[in-house]
Amino acid sequence: MKFLLDVSHLKTWFPIRRGILARTAGFVRAVDGVSLQIQAGETVALVGESGCGKTTLARSLLRLDPVLSGEIYFEGQNILALTERRLREVRRRLQIVFQDPFAALNPRMSVADIVTEGLLEHGLIAAREKFDAARRLLSEVGLAPEAAERYPHEFSGGQRQRISIARALALRPRLLVCDEPVSALDVSVQAQILNLLVDLRERHGLAYLFISHDLRVVRHLAHRTAVMYLGRIVEEGTTSAVLERPRHPYTRALLSAVPRPGPKRERIVLSGEVPSPVSPPAGCRFRTRCPFATPACAEIEPALEVASGSDGVIPHRVACLRHREI
């Protein structure tokens, strides 16, 4: 099958430089061997806690962070081999929406300028068409057309996030990378934006790579979910499989930590914190916090393999030596 996005064995490491000669003293292994596929029109969620590498992975797709090795194919083109000019062309169809709607918009540009900048840059509209194009885009994301003449500071967080989405949509992308697009927003506004993302997906057949730490939001939006821990994917499958029948101890702990109404549940409280990505633990990276770890977990690095009992077309994969017993 042809994928819209096909990432394999991706590693993005950041060098740590020390001393006056700025010698490389080590690497932050932010993304350390990740493979991920997205089909046209599909929403894939990437879940994990701060520092797990999910944002670096997203930025690597657009070549905003230095990739060490691996392959990224988008619409059949090898992103890592493209010239800067060709890359610009590809970025039209691969857009990103950032977390902080306050930092992502230039305060000196009018909303019309912000949302049509890409269109003008790529010569897709003439300057005199700017306001028409802006009004059309704004109404698509549920903003009044008059917003075009105003400036970002006049809008609330939710409205600014709509402007960011309008800007990303302008170039008719096929894949929208959303990096925590609702985590800076209040719950009531958050729901508005989530509904908008669902509408746009249906209207344009958009695919999303949806990066989030909030499993409730992921449950609502994603067809498939991948869980990241310390630079690696530890579990992936359909969202219902991963969140209803989690197999990796980390996924289970994450799920049990979500505070939510309902009967009291058994909670897996993890001890300690995420180890440094500069020198991740040998063997399984999660073993230092895992309640089920055995000595074997320090020896063998578990591969992402099809979980026992996985049925259906989309396999449920897990990277845990003990997933059959626990």
Partner 1 sequence: MAALLEIRELTVDFTSDEGPLRAVDGVTFDIHPGEIFGLVGESGCGKTVTALSILRLIPSPAGRFVSGRIVFQGRNLLELPIPEMRAIRGRSISMIFQEPMTALSPLHRVGWQLVEAIRLHQSVPRRQAWQRSAEWLRRVGLPDPERAMLAYPFQLSGGMRQRVMIAMAMLLDPALIIADEPTTAVDVTIQAQIFELMRAVRRPEAALLLITHDLGVVWEMCSRMAVMYAGEIVEIGAVPQVFSRPLHPYTEALLQAIPSLDAPQPRLRPVAGSPPSPRCFPPGCRFHDRCRYAFERCRREHPPLSAVQERQARCFLAEERAKTSHEKP
Contact residues toward partner 1 (CB under 8 A) are 49-50, 156, 158, 186-192, 194-195, 198, 213, 215-217, 219-220, 239-240, 243, 253-262, 267, 269-273
Specify the DSSP element, H or E, that contains 121. Answer: helix 111-121
Report in angstroms how near the CB of residue 284 gets to partner 1 at its nearest: 17
Query: In Å, what is the CA distance from 191 to each residue of 30, 47, 160, 165, 207?
Result: 31, 19, 15, 15, 19
Q: Which residue has the tokens 């697009």?
A: 181
Identify which of residues 125 and 191 has a Cβ nearer to partner 1 in the complex.
Answer: 191
Q: Would you give the end-to-end CA distance of the chain in angstroms?
A: 34
* Residue whose CB is less far from partner 1, 60 or 190: 190
Minimal distance, residue 267 CB to partner 1, in Å: 6
Residue 253 beta carbon to partner 1: minimum distance, rounded to whole angstroms: 6
Write the Ramachandran bin of 236: left for phi over 0, alpha for psi from -120 to 50, otherwise beta. beta
- CB closer to partner 1 out of 69 and 195: 195
Alpha-carbon gap, residue 249 to 268, rounded angstroms: 9
Query: Least Å distance between CB 260 and partner 1?
Result: 4
DSSP string, 271-298: PS-PPPTTSPPSS-TTTTT-TT--HHHH
Q: How far is the CB of 81 from partner 1 (least distance, A)?
A: 36
For residue 326, the tally of other CB atoms under 10 A from its CB is: 13
Our CB check for partner 1 shows the closer of 82 and 270 to be: 270
111-121 helix and 157-169 helix, angle to the nearest 10 degrees: 20
| Nearer Cβ to partner 1 (246/283) | 246
